């Protein structure tokens, strides 16, 4: 094996892991197009990858995971800190020595007959990681999602500040599937899965779980947030970060196309990121965000010309599709709600023949995905590669709540905003294994991704706030695109029309518009949400309804919040006093 680095910490860790997993072959990933092309060909020769129609979808491939391996597995995801207290009440915890022993027992000899791929991963501006894997699918995905290649090793030099990632696809034994993060050792070990979020270790495992811990220790933040740039008719760009639980439309919002009238007036949206933000204070005292990723790992079903033409365009080349439906007629892909024209001669995500005319089950898994290079996105921001990041005007929290939260409300100040984030809740989706449609508390959309005690994480948010001049701190809002009427119909059209809400948000940030104070925060006056062009879809009465705050529902909600907070106090975690004060205020306000 030719070594690509002289870094002792890298070489000795790799040697150690080679002795453990015993690969037949070892390949360093250099990030070159030739190597990627050779791996694609090898993946196709074994059936791991399927080459799609190269005229219609150049450099695009399809992969099917095992049918029992189609989502992130939160129940099998662990934070392995020295003490259980450090992991907090919302994380599964395992003692590190015990975890290493168990994982090494599973990983031992698991690469026999397989090839080990070693690829540096991570953002070239900041953090570096190396993932060892026995899966070509993982290598090809990581080559899209991260800045992979020998330059990264050069940038690392002799430093031992890098994240160690070991992935063993193994036998896909569900009972032995574990995704373990060791934040105190900068280490991730993932065994017995071959599905995206569990195995693309640069994403949730590193850029959120490990990075949130690093940010806590180093004074910055890793958040489950998209970043978008909004250009207004004055030609200026404002940037917004937004946190939503998985599969609540982050990719759609990040790539939003303004409604016609807005477009004519000069509004434009640019995407900096669709899933993860690393945020730190800049020299001018404002918060700046970068997207540590290099691609989009988006949910395919529901992505179409209307909901997200930019994402669709991004998938037209160099994309890997996972668990979508394979149209055999033209060797392309299809998923539910792509169009009204399902294929009739197809293979479903499970690998079985599928005919859209007679099928009773979906052709694509509800959590099927596309892994698309960010540079393909027609609205990618010219600030995407800016190592200093973009200055943040507003931060949004949101979720799916059919009845409770209004379309938008603004927190009274930073601390209240942190409280609003801490009580976030959403009806669950297919992005994680488990029941769909159940309300769960998901503070800052970080429930599955926070690498340490969530109460300490809230304290970290409050501490960051203390360092900010209130005039420069981003304003914090909560949005809910998913309010429904009595008959279960959505009250707000969503998608591009969400710009109407973003416009109000920016005006609030700039002190240009008044608002109505309610028990939960500031909501827009109905006349300040521009309905021009959608008067037929959203009546004034409907708008009033979506903006309304029902004290009785919030009283019920307060009980849910109390139960959630109790989990922390029962565990022995310290909920910051500021949040308890905010909770008291909320209860008083909705009396
Ligand atoms: C994702 C998720 O894949 O949050 O982004 O599950
Ligand atoms: Mn996500």
Q: In this structure, what CATH number is given to the domain that contains residue 149?
A: 3.40.449.10
The C-alpha angle 14, 15, 19, rounded to 5 degrees, equals: 115
Reported confidence tier of residue 184, pLDDT bands at 50, 70, 90 = very high
- Among candidate residues 168, 170, 248, 379, the one labeled active-site is 248
Whether 525 is in a domain gets the answer yes
How far is Cα 51 from Cα 60, in angstroms, rounded to an integer? 7
Q: For atom 3 of ligand 1, which residue has the closest CA?
A: 197
pLDDT of 436 > 90? The answer is: no
* Residue 414: domain span: 223-291+384-571
Average per-residue pLDDT in the chain? 94
Which pLDDT value is given to residue 123?
Answer: 46
pLDDT of 228 > 50? The answer is: yes
Which pLDDT value is given to residue 124?
Answer: 42
Residues 114 and 205 in one domain: yes
Number of domains in the chain: 3
pLDDT of 263 > 90? The answer is: yes
Residues 102 and 203 in one domain: yes
Residues 91 and 134 in one domain: yes
Which pLDDT value is given to residue 518?
Answer: 98
Q: How far does residue 264's CA lie from ligand 1's centre (Å)?
A: 34
Residues 196 and 248 in one domain: no
Residues 322 and 273 in one domain: no
Give the whole-number percent of the chain exceeding pLDDT 70.
Answer: 98
Q: Please give the number of the atom of ligand 1 that sits closest to the Cα of 71.
A: 6
Long-range (24+ apart) CB contacts under 8 A made by 562-570 are 564/423, 564/441, 567/89, 567/90, 568/88, 568/89, 568/454, 568/455, 570/89
Residues 198 and 243 in one domain: no
Query: Among this protein's residues, is 325 annotated catalytic?
Result: no
Which pLDDT value is given to residue 464?
Answer: 98
Domain C-terminal end among 326, 355, 376 = 376
Q: What is the pTM of this model?
A: 0.96
Q: What is the mean pLDDT of residues 64-85?
A: 96
Q: For atom 4 of ligand 1, which residue has the closest CA?
A: 246
Whether 585 is in a domain gets the answer no
Place of tokens 């360093």: 28
Q: How far does residue 201's CA lie from ligand 1's centre (Å)?
A: 12
Which pLDDT value is given to residue 119?
Answer: 67
Reported confidence tier of residue 154, pLDDT bands at 50, 70, 90 = confident
Residues 412 and 476 in one domain: yes
pLDDT tens figures, 6-52: 999 999 999 999 999 999 999 999 889 999 999 999 999 999 999 99
Residues 124 and 209 in one domain: yes
Residues 450 and 397 in one domain: yes
Q: What is the mean pLDDT of residues 124-147?
A: 89
Reported confidence tier of residue 153, pLDDT bands at 50, 70, 90 = confident
Whether 545 is in a domain gets the answer yes
Residues 281 and 390 in one domain: yes
Q: How far does residue 518's CA lie from ligand 1's centre (Å)?
A: 33
Whether 125 is in a domain gets the answer yes
Residues 392 and 432 in one domain: yes
Residues 248 and 269 in one domain: yes
Whether 178 is in a domain gets the answer yes
Q: For residue 299, which ligand has an atom nearest its CA?
A: 1
Which pLDDT value is given to residue 431?
Answer: 66
Whether 200 is in a domain gets the answer yes
Whether 54 is in a domain gets the answer no
pLDDT tens figures, 550-588: 999 999 999 999 999 999 999 999 999 999 999 999 999
Which pLDDT value is given to residue 576?
Answer: 98
pLDDT tens figures, 279-304: 999 999 999 999 999 999 999 999 99
């Amino acid at each position: 094996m030719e070594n690509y680095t002289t870094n002792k910490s890298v070489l000795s860790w790799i040697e150690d892991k080679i002795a453990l997993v015993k690969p037949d072959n070892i390949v360093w990933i250099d990030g070159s197009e030739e190597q990627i092309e050779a791996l694609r060909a090898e993946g196709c020769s074994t059936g791991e990858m399927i080459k799609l129609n190269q005229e219609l979808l150049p450099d695009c491939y399809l992969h099917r995971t095992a049918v029992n391996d189609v989502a992130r597995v939160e129940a099998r995801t662990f934070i392995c800190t020295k003490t259980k207290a450090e992991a907090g009440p919302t994380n599964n915890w395992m003692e590190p020595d015990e975890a290493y022993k168990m994982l090494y027992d599973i990983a031992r000899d698991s690469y026999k007959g397989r090839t080990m791929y070693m690829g540096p991963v991570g953002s070239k501006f900041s953090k570096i990681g190396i993932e060892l894997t026995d899966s070509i699918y993982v290598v090809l995905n990581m080559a899209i999602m991260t800045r992979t290649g020998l330059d990264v090793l050069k940038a690392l030099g002799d430093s031992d500040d890098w994240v160690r990632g070991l992935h063993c696809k193994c036998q896909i034994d569900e009972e032995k599937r574990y995704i373990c993060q060791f934040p105190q050792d900068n280490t991730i070990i993932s065994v017995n899965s071959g599905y995206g979020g569990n195995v693309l270790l640069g994403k949730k495992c590193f850029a959120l779980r490990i990075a949130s811990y690093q940010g806590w220790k180093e004074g910055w933040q890793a958040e489950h947030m998209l970043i978008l740039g909004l250009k207004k008719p004055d030609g200026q760009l404002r940037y917004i970060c937004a946190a939503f639980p998985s599969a609540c439309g982050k990719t759609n919002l990040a790539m939003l196309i303004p409604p016609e009238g807005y477009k004519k007036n000069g509004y434009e949206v640019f995407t900096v990121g669709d899933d993860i933000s690393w945020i730190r204070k800049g020299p001018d005292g404002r918060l700046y965000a970068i997207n540590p990723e290099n691609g989009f790992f988006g949910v395919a079903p529901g992505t179409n010309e209307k909901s997200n033409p930019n994402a669709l365009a991004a998938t037209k080349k160099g994309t890997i599709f996972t668990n979508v439906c394979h149209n055999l007629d033209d060797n392309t892909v299809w998923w539910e709600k792509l169009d009204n024209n399902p294929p009739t001669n197809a293979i479903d995500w499970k690998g079985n023949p599928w005919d859209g005319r007679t099928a009773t089950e979906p052709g694509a898994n509800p959590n099927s995905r596309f892994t698309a290079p960010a540079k393909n996105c027609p609205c990618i921001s010219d600030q995407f590669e800016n190592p200093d990041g973009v200055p943040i005007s507003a931060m949004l929290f949101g979720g799916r709540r059919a009845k409770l939260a209004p379309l938008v409300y603004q927190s009274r100040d930073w601390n209240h905003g942190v409280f609003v984030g801490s009580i976030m809740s959403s009806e669950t989706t297919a992005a994680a294994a488990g029941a769909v449609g159940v309300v769960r508390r998901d503070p800052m959309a970080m429930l599955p991704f926070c690498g340490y005690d969530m109460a300490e994480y809230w304290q970290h948010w409050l501490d960051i706030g203390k360092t900010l001049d209130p005039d420069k701190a981003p304003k914090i809002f909560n949005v809910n695109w998913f309010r429904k009427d009595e008959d279960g119909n959505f009250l707000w059209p969503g998608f591009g029309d969400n710009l109407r809400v973003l416009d109000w948000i920016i005006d609030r940030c700039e002190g240009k518009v008044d608002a109505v104070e309610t028990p939960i925060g500031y909501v827009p006056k109905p006349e300040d949400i521009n309905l021009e062009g959608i008067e037929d879809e959203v009546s004034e009465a409907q708008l009033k309804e979506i903006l309304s705050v029902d004290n009785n529902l919030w009283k019920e909600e307060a009980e849910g919040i109390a139960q959630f907070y109790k989990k922390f106090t029962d565990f022995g975690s310290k909920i910051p006093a500021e949040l308890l004060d905010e909770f008291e205020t909320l209860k008083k306000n909705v009396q």
